Amino acid sequence: MSTVHVVARIRPLLNDETENNIIVKAEGNVVSIPNPRNKDEIFKFPFNAVHGMEADQAAMFSEVSPALKHLFAGNDVQVFAYGVTGTGKTHTMRGGKQAAQRGIIPRLLHAIFRRKKELEKKSGGETKVSVVMTYFEIYNDKVFDLFSPTSKRTPAGLPVRECDKKTIVVGLTEKAVSSPAEFEELYDKANDNRSTSATKLNAHSSRSHAITCVKVIIEGKEGTKAGTVSAIDLAGSEDNRRTANDKERMLESQSINRSLFVLAQCVDAIAKKQSRIPFRDSKMTRILSLGQNNCKTIMILNLAPTVAYHLDTISSLNFANRAKKIETKEVEHETFQAPPPPTQAQVAAANRQPLRPVQQPARLNPGIKKPTTATTTKSTILKPKFAGVEKKPLQEKKPSQDRPRLGFPNGAQRPSAASKPHAAKESQKESGLSSIQASIEEMKANHQREIEKLRKEIEQTKEDQAKKMEQMEVDEKTREAKMYCLIAKQHTAADEYEDAILNYKLALKLCPDHPKILVRIKKLKMLLRKAEADHSGDSEQVDNTHPPPTNVSAPAPKKSGKKLSIFRDPTPSPGHQSIIRSPCPNTPRTRQIIQAVLSESLPAITKLAGIGPKKAETIITHVRGLKAAGQTISSLSDIMVIPGIGKKQVEKMQAGLLDKENVNPLPPISQKLLKNIENVDSGSVRLVHPDTDLAPIKTLASEKPPRKRKQLYALEDEDEDAVQSDVSEYVDEGGPLYGEKSPYQSPANPIKRHRAKMRKLNSLELAEENAVAV
Ligand SMILES: Nc1ncnc2c1ncn2[C@@H]1O[C@H](COP(=O)(O)OP(=O)(O)OP(=O)(O)O)[C@@H](O)[C@H]1O
């Protein structure tokens, strides 16, 4: 009976690691590491051997080579490397290509072939040694043959079966190997099939547990015996907060961590001598069957020296501390006569010995004797001298002679356990205590990490909520500002610049310093100033130059946008043609409505859409009242306030006019223009604003009057359009304020406006020509 032989190896510093970060030290056969919670307290973990950073590959193999004797005696040997990712497991087991860098597995094979040669030579050819090999990996809890190409893999992997209480991988390729060179070739090729990837912690991280099984069959005079050495390069546990793994790597990592967790649980259960050991919870533990295989087991504990791995290193040390207590019985295989050539199942079966926990031998393998108390005692006595953690403070405070102390000063040697059984017991107790203490520390640290994580998550959630609230506020403001802008546009469309400015100012309060709103306000203010300035001058001009139409009084210009009007120069010089543009208060449609209203004529007013005789009478009464008070109607808003006439009614009137215009083949504008041209006197052009109610001139009806009307409308509406279009463009630009199109968007887009301008120029030229011709 022997325990698992645990050898710790501390890897050297990597390029990105510095000496002042070293915390793990090799002191004889003890690994020392500070308590993560209290740096002054040093934990000490004794093992069968400890190799420091300077240890080479040959030194590591020296820990394994004695097991060759057992192998050639027909025993099984198991070597496995355990440790966190990036601690040097693959380096230890496989190593590099150069002879000095070769790891345990190639060195084992070389040693096997050397011994084979010696044996065969010594026996004078009577003994024949053959070597058969299988190599497979457990990736995401599935078994894949590394001797067969990855393209031949099935998604489910190879099945694992229990046969005669042994774990067998069905369908593995067995390769007979006759020389080290042949092995090297096979091994290198198979390693290409192994699942490795770059992670943040290791550029060539093993994503699987790789298991190399080498069966040595010795045929001699006395019969045949076979021993198998299994070398296992376990994948490393990973802290996924540090790996920055992607989705695929995370899945691998979860599988790796899970299988290692099950392994730790198995080790715990074995150490506590529990009846149920959860081997079947993962394929790796099923195949590894730690402590159940009656074979010599060597565990290489790979450690990183730096503080970055502090907690992981403590976790690994605890695991190894428990694993070293696992007892295994080395059972020599029965020698048998004339063996048939090994079948695939037999080779696989031979990879594992009958498994049974030492404490329940009868249950799993009734053929093997239950260990006696004496055996157990012997095993206990052979426990390492240094057992567990040294607790300096405790030791200094309570140096009582009567009470057993919890630790020893650094470097102090406990008397040999074999010579002093009482001391050995004490040492065992202390070891147990210190390992419990280390576990508690580890648990505390884990809890602390969890709490930290939760705290961060809560903070993050709070931050997110605050951001959401802020965003909601901004959205609300934007919505409100949008509304104000739309109202402002509506006012702009109705030439109510003051109201428009007011609404833009309200929008500006919600979106301070918004450049486009500022520009809009500036423009509107300019327009307002101009309209006010024009108001006085223009009304005089209109009054002077054009008497009001017979039945419609002229509209009074209100604070409104600049409109273009073409009128006769009051003092034209003979032979001189002049075209003078003057601002005009309202759009033609608005003016038409105002004219009708001011006409106080029942038929003219009832012509307006939605106005019946009753409403017309109300309007006439209202207008007369105003006139009596020395006031007049000068804008649509003046009409809106007439009792019984609201905003909707005015919109109806506008819509009605629009419809009429669309069906009228010869609208008054063109007629007015032509009449004026006809009436031109002494060579000067007289183009009037098309408000005058003139009779149609049929002779010139062929000049596509609707187009002319449009041209003039475009001409007159140009500035208003520009404002509207700007607002629309503003909306179209999808600035922070405006997400949707305004229903008040200008009908004329920039191209149309440009075309209208061109048409306007053409029409003016045409008008001039016509005037001259007349
Ligand atoms: N003893 C050593 N001497 C020199 N370099 C080493 C030693 N041990 C490890 N390294 C280097 O450390 C790095 C990580 O080693 P390795 O890939 O063997 O880690 P691992 O434990 O197998 O990681 P994983 O579990 O992710 O596969 C490699 O670059 C390796 O060369």
The ipTM value here is: 0.97
Q: Which atom of ligand 1 is nearest to the CA of 196?
A: 27
Q: Whose CA is nearest to atom 18 of ligand 1?
A: 88
Give the span between the Cα atoms of 11 and 25, in whole angstroms.
11
Give the span between the Cα atoms of 772 and 767, in whole angstroms.
9
Give the span between the Cα atoms of 212 and 227, in whole angstroms.
14
This prediction has a pTM of 0.48
Question: Nearest-5° angle of CA 429, CA 434, CA 436?
Answer: 95
Q: Are the CB atoms for 31 and 7 separated by under 8 Å?
A: no
Q: Whose CA is nearest to atom 23 of ligand 1?
A: 86
C-alpha 142 – ligand 1 centre gap (Å): 24
C-alpha 24 – ligand 1 centre gap (Å): 16
Q: Which atom of ligand 1 is nearest to the CA of 96?
A: 31
Q: Whose CA is nearest to atom 8 of ligand 1?
A: 88
Give the span between the Cα atoms of 531 and 111, in whole angstroms.
107
Element (H, E) at 7: strand 5-10
Mean pLDDT split into 10-residue runs, the chain, 774 residues: 84 91 92 90 92 94 92 90 91 91 94 93 89 92 89 87 81 92 92 73 74 93 89 79 62 80 85 82 85 80 93 89 75 48 49 38 32 31 33 37 34 39 64 75 82 86 85 84 86 85 87 87 88 65 41 39 33 36 59 88 88 89 87 86 86 77 45 48 40 39 44 41 40 37 47 69 54 39
Type of residue found at 23: I
Choose the residue to mutate in 204, 232, 316 for probing ligand 1, maximizing ligand atoms within 8 Å of C-beta: 204
Query: Which residue shows structure tokens 């107790």?
Result: 429
In order of their start, the domains of the chain are 2-371 (3.40.850.10)
C-alpha 505 – ligand 1 centre gap (Å): 69
Q: Whose CA is nearest to atom 26 of ligand 1?
A: 205
Q: Are the CB atoms for 282 and 258 separated by under 8 Å?
A: yes
C-alpha 237 – ligand 1 centre gap (Å): 14
Q: Whose CA is nearest to atom 2 of ligand 1?
A: 11
- The whole-number pLDDT of residue 445 equals 81
Give the span between the Cα atoms of 743 and 752, in whole angstroms.
19
Pocket of ligand 1 (CB under 6 A): 11-12, 14, 83, 85-91, 202, 204-206, 235-236, 302
Q: Which atom of ligand 1 is nearest to the CA of 83?
A: 21
From residue 688, alpha-carbon distances to 417, 544, 762 in Å are 126, 13, 17
| Binding residue ranges | 83-90
- The whole-number pLDDT of residue 79 equals 93
Type of residue found at 87: T
C-alpha 90 – ligand 1 centre gap (Å): 6
C-alpha 274 – ligand 1 centre gap (Å): 35
C-alpha 144 – ligand 1 centre gap (Å): 23
Nearest to 298 by CA among 335, 263, 326, 336: 326
Q: Which atom of ligand 1 is nearest to the CA of 55?
A: 1
Longest Cα–Cα distance in the chain: 145
Q: Which atom of ligand 1 is nearest to the CA of 57?
A: 1
Q: Which atom of ligand 1 is nearest to the CA of 53?
A: 1
From residue 526, alpha-carbon distances to 136, 363, 497, 529, 564 in Å are 86, 102, 10, 5, 16
